[in-house]
Structure 1
Amino acid sequence: MTILGLAGHVDHGKTALVKALTGVDTDRLPEEKARGMTTDLGFAALRLPDFSQDGKILEFGVIDVPGHERYIRNMVAGAWSLDLALLVVAADDGWMAQSENHARVLSAVGLPRLVLGITKIDKVEGQRSRDVLAEALERAQAIFGPERIAGACPVSVLSGQGLEDLRRLLASEGARIEASHSQGPLPKGAFLFVDRVFVKKGAGRIACGSLQGSGLSLEDELSQGPGSEPLRVKGIECLGRTLPRIAAPARVALSLGKSKGEIGRGDLLFKLDNGPREVFSNREFIFKVETLPSSLSSVDSGSEALKKGGEIEVAVGTAWRIGRLVPLGKGPWHRFVCVDELAFPASRPLVLIRHGGAEILGRAWAIFQGKTDRMRRRKLASLLEGQEKAAPNQVALLLRNAFYPARAPAPTPRVAEPGPNHEASIPASLEPSLRTAEKTLSEAGRNCLEYQSAAQARSPSAYSAPRLPPRKDMDTLCALGLAVPLDRNLFIHRDVYTALVSQTLKGKNQGDKIEIGEAKERTGFSRKFVLPFLNRMERDGYVKRTGDSRIMLGKRPEPKPRQG
């Protein structure tokens, strides 16, 4: 599935265009019907033929966001998960204030691809619509860069002119995006920000949102943030279909049964698949702050406001908080303190909004969380000096090693940043810190490592140590890449895992099936262990699940040299 969002200035025809494409009126609230203006998120499903493959249907989850500046926070809530955006500009008005603001939000959240839709061309002469299209392209390229612009289509909802061209452009992008989803290793950890909640008779609490990361299955356990109550997935629905399992990205409705406690918009539901926590949940953070490009000279980039600090609003996913931003030393580093706890994946950017207004000031990456006294802030400022050009994940690791040397530095996910160096590896200067962390293992942790390493030549039943060491040691082993978590309480030595993956894939080619019984025979695992092992292989991009079988994707393991 491709998640498609429509953005743009108020009254430029976003909702009418959604209806023309899908047949669905996304203005569902009585207030929206009465005022003729979208105030909250609207949702629809779009199915288009893949014009490059006969018979294949492409599915889109469509999100319609409000265009009025008063509802900019709702707009951010709809923008965070998009694979593709359709930025709507009316031919009679041209590029307006919220065209600019919405474009900057889409840039802030790291939108991969953008299509421009020039609407209401029936209201103007042909030259006017061509001029508006040219200006919109120029401004969009100033904000996103030309490489992220997929194309532009002039359309009229009333006459239908241009709609077929738009469908073909969206289908082309959808096919490309779906192909990119199926390539490479699967993301680790599934999460969604809740955007709607309701109660359904017989099903209990239903939470809706855009699923990201890896997939979800029935009976999966989810954590909730802020908060810690475990939740169980009792039902999954996507585009009107009830499913036992769903792959991301997708628009989903999850039945969570009769869960205790409150669930609301802005809550994060997540399932972590690879050991240490990768979710920030706190009231205080250290940010790396960035300004955003603008196409209008009249629009302040936000740099002055960010230098001074003060009250500000941050939005991430469907959540937003009011807090205070305080510069920390020199450079882009700031301390942010909010009244209520905020939870979000460590890899997600946050959008910075002027408090009480609609101006987008910039974006931020969280690199540290937790309360800091004056002495700690001095140390933070000292450590951050000279790190301005380092990727946020590098800086986060540096800080965790500095402040928690007795623990493994919890691995921060790679931060996807638009631009040429969007994935930064850990620099050589940080590798000694990782080797130092290995020395901090307790005796139980070292014994476990030696035990699992020796078990490689023995029966697979020996891969579970008689007694696991403290959890922090297991997290250390996982963070150092010495152990691989198969599930929450089942771990395997890295070399054992690599050898068993190679054995499982031996003689297989891309597209070949691997049955559970065959995997049991090749690994010597019982069913209790082989299912978590195959699930781990799926998360690492070696196989893809189809029913009870696995399909080889073509990737093979490459043994990693041990550090130190």
Structure 2
Amino acid sequence: MIIGTAGHIDHGKTSLVEALTGVNADRLPEEKARGITIDLGFAYAPTASGSVVGFVDVPGHEKFVHTMAAGAIGMDHGLLVVAADDGLMPQTREHLRILDLLGVPQLSVAITKIDLVDAQRVQAVTREVLDHVGLTRFGEVEAYPVSVRTQAGVAALQAALFALRLSQPSEAPSYFRLAIDRVFVVKGMGVAVTGAVIAGRIAVGDRVRLAHAGLEARVRSIHAQNQSAQQATVGERCGIVLSGVDVEQVTRGDWLVGPELDLQTVRVDCLLSVPHDAERVIKDGELVLLHHGCQQVSARLILLDRGQIGAGQEAWAQIVLDRPLALCWQDRLVLRDASARHTLAGAQVMDIAPPVRGRKKPERFDVLATLQQADPVTALLGLMDRARGPLDLTHWAAAMNRSAELLLRALEPRLALQLQDGAHQLILGMEAQSGLTERVRACLDAFHISDPDEPGLAFERLRRMAVPDLQASVFKVWLTAQISAGTFALTGSFVHAVGHKVELSGPERILWERALPKLLDGEFDPPWVRDVALMVSASEEEVRLLFKKQARTSALTQLVKDLFYPDATMSRMADMIRETVGEQGFVSVINFRDKLGIGRKRAIQILEAFDRVGLTRRLVSLGRTGRAVEKDHRILRNAALFRGAQQDVQP
């Protein structure tokens, strides 16, 4: 359990923490000399149940509000401290806003210095504070009048705070996250960082990442809640000694995370919330300071559903950051004005990879409302229902700090299809699968009606015509699966509707039956178009048009202008390439030329044709001077091409 103080300067926060724990949280010499808190202070106290309660003492001066916001990260309970002689003050309101906007779960109020005023004043201040707190998300809270000097009420407040229990959500983030608020060196050990664990757990020996720096380290030792420990978990403050990094590489404000979390972003869509007592409106396009843990970055605010937002209102907004941050779904942010004098609003992260185009469309607001759901499975089911294509489960699992395997297990009953795009796992709901299939089918049907002599559409052209908003690699993976399932067909590199076939006219069929044997008889050196035309007593143009038509169906492969190879010949040459690669590991122009008994120029043309269709890949390496070619050979890229029926050929 982590309890954090909040309140105006000189209202007795540090003295109250000392009275509750016996520890003076001011650790800096300047703090002790001036009697004010400048940086975050920490104190720990054991409870009767054997657990340890940690206190975070934050500075109350307006110059250090950013430090207070950093200390509020990871608080399980807020303790608002108000002096009875002063009452509500500017920083009291400011700190309360931050606790409210950062989503601190619970709040108690301590009315301090009651020995300096009469009972009537204590009652009036208590009523004023509780009325003000009641207008926030916290609603009705408990207030405790105390005096550190006389110890009046301290025991009652201590009993109430030490009896608090950390609520354990049924569904929680999976992987470790800690906002670093201190960095120092432990002699003989290594670099140490401290902060509150806000997600997951960490154990000695674990690998971790510095999110912003992008460096990996190992956990050498852990100090949790002021005690040596083998592990630390949510609800605990801890110090972690790292090995594998230097102190210059670790900065306050960075996040220490599990190796599974490697996403950073410079653009997020959020739900913006303005406090009920905000002094002014926020306008579209405004420059703000954004606080995330101990990080403070400049950002531009783009309001999506209105031109400005005022006190007590909520709005959808896109925030553009001036440098990348390691944010997660439903993280809480605080926005202050560019001069860092006023807390303007809070923001809850919804999407860490939002679109720029179409960000103000009504359907986009439906997506953001879906992401507002507290349960990740419910949110993902809503996204699946609204998606026009496959959903990247790998991305969303990392963005939500959840295990992809556990999410998949929960979503599986509602899935129509699961796909793999490299390292990314894609999922489709029933509605998305049906809609995507129908759009592609309608596009192919229309194309076959308008161009009946064309065999079909290449993958990328089909994507641009049917679903241009879908990523090319994702569409290719999806369409390949549909072809394998028999929903669509593939001839060569052309996708078409099942049953569609390019038909030759009567005269074309007669000409083809006469011309094909001439090409086959030429084996590895077939005749050119003009020669075939002479052999079959037809015009060059008739033969050329027929061969081009057949090349679109993959019955022929065109090497250069007016030179075509039949599929059977291409298959024989492909077998020779596979055999040579199997023996030597590669095929060169020279050994291919010798194997076919043809000229070097023709061998190069054939190999380049195989490069184009994807059977081979050319590899060229230069000598030490960088000028002379040392090696020039081919390896297999897709060995399945030109093997068996052309319907089995993959793009």
Place the TM-score, normalised by the shorter chain, in its bin.
0.5 to 0.7
| Per-residue deviation, 1:434 | 7.3
Aligned residue in 2 for 1:267: 254
Distance 1:343 1:400, change over 3 A: farther
Cα contact 1:104–1:293 (8 A) shared by 2: no
Aligned residue in 2 for 1:119: 112
Cα contact 1:212–1:249 (8 A) shared by 2: yes
State the SS of the aligned residue for 2:249: coil
| Per-residue deviation, 1:371 | 8.4
Distance 1:361 1:186, change over 3 A: closer
| Per-residue deviation, 1:367 | 2.8
Gaps of 5+ in 1: 50-55, 417-425, 443-469, 478-564
User: Which of 184, 190, 193 is the matching residue for 1:204?
Assistant: 190
Cα contact 1:316–1:351 (8 A) shared by 2: yes
For residue 102 of structure 1, what is the amino acid of its counterpart? H
For residue 35 of structure 1, what is the amino acid of its counterpart? R
Aligned residue in 2 for 1:236: 222
Cα contact 2:327–2:352 (8 A) shared by 1: no
- Matches of 2:10 and 2:364, distance apart in 1: 45
Aligned residue in 2 for 1:536: none
Aligned residue in 1 for 2:13: 14
Deviations 1:294-350 (A, max 9, x none): 3xxxx42x5x21x33311011122212112112235482323222222123323111
For residue 78 of structure 2, what is the amino acid of its counterpart? A
User: Which of 364, 371, 378 is the matching residue for 2:358?
Assistant: 378
Aligned residue in 2 for 1:314: 290
| Per-residue deviation, 1:240 | 3.6
- Matches of 2:398 and 2:128, distance apart in 1: 38
Higher relative contact order by CA 8 Å / sep ≥ 6: 1 or 2?
A: 1
For residue 336 of structure 1, what is the amino acid of its counterpart? I
Aligned residue in 1 for 2:424: 472
Gaps of 5+ in 2: 307-313, 374-378, 402-406, 429-651
User: Which of 84, 88, 101 is the matching residue for 1:91?
Assistant: 84
Give the TM-score normalised by the residue count of structure 2: 0.57
For residue 325 of structure 1, what is the amino acid of its counterpart? L
Cα contact 1:286–1:334 (8 A) shared by 2: yes
State the SS of the aligned residue for 1:205: strand
- Matches of 2:294 and 2:385, distance apart in 1: 27
State the SS of the aligned residue for 2:158: helix
Cα contact 1:194–1:265 (8 A) shared by 2: yes
Distance 1:262 1:360, change over 3 A: same
Distance 1:162 1:379, change over 3 A: closer
Distance 1:327 1:396, change over 3 A: farther
State the SS of the aligned residue for 1:20: helix
User: Which of 162, 166, 191 is the matching residue for 2:157?
Assistant: 166
1:381-392 pair list within 5 angstroms:
381-385=361-365, 389-392=369-372
| Per-residue deviation, 1:33 | 2.5
User: Which of 110, 113, 125 is the matching residue for 2:103?
Assistant: 110
User: Which of 301, 318, 323 is the matching residue for 1:325?
Assistant: 301
Cα contact 1:20–1:157 (8 A) shared by 2: yes
Cα contact 2:272–2:347 (8 A) shared by 1: yes
Cα contact 1:387–1:395 (8 A) shared by 2: no
Which protein has the larger Cα radius of gyration, Structure 1 or Structure 2?
2
Deviations 1:105-134 (A, max 9, x none): 101111111110000011101111111111
| Per-residue deviation, 1:139 | 1.0
Distance 1:79 1:390, change over 3 A: same
- Matches of 1:384 and 1:395, distance apart in 2: 15
Aligned residue in 1 for 2:32: 33
- Matches of 1:396 and 1:342, distance apart in 2: 27
Aligned residue in 2 for 1:541: none
Identity, % of aligned positions? 31
User: Which of 335, 345, 351 is the matching residue for 2:334?
Assistant: 351
For residue 185 of structure 2, what is the amino acid of its counterpart? V
Question: Mean Cα displacement is larger for which, 78-87 or 184-193?
Answer: 184-193
Deviations 1:367-407 (A, max 9, x none): 333586xxx42356453245675443549974998598473
Deviations 1:186-240 (A, max 9, x none): 6411210000010011110001011122221111111221132111111111234
State the SS of the aligned residue for 1:411: helix
Aligned residue in 2 for 1:136: 129
Cα contact 1:325–1:337 (8 A) shared by 2: yes
- Matches of 2:212 and 2:23, distance apart in 1: 34
1:56-67 pair list within 5 angstroms:
56-67=49-60
Aligned residue in 2 for 1:71: 64
Aligned residue in 2 for 1:494: none
Aligned residue in 1 for 2:41: 42
